[in-house]
Amino acid sequence: AVSERETEFAEIAVVADTDELTPPCGSCRQIIWEFCGDVPVIFSNLSGKNEILKMSELLPRAFDTKFLK
């Protein structure tokens, strides 16, 4: 999305063909935080199971530019 100049995100979805809902990996969490901030992240599978968490719940005490002063 960023390579296509999309810079504003209201939410992010992670959909996987698994029984258990799949969260983003640690590296993806950091990248999502850097580009999207504290957006809702929707977990979903093909069976229709869903859960929504804020990025701050998935990446507490996130590193961002405020630490680069």
End-to-end, the C-alpha distance of the chain in Å comes to 28
Bridge partners, residue 42, by sequence = 13, 52
CB 50 within 8 A of CB 44: yes
Kindly give the confidence (pLDDT) of every residue in the chain, 69 residues in length, as a single tens digit, with 9 standing for 90 and above: 878 988 889 999 999 999 999 999 999 999 999 999 999 999 999 999 999 999 999 999 888 888 887
Residue 14 near residue 36, CB atoms below 8 Å: no
The gap from C-alpha 53 to its chain's centroid, in whole angstroms, comes to 9
Query: pTM of the full predicted structure?
Result: 0.84
Give residue for tokens 């993806």. Answer: 28
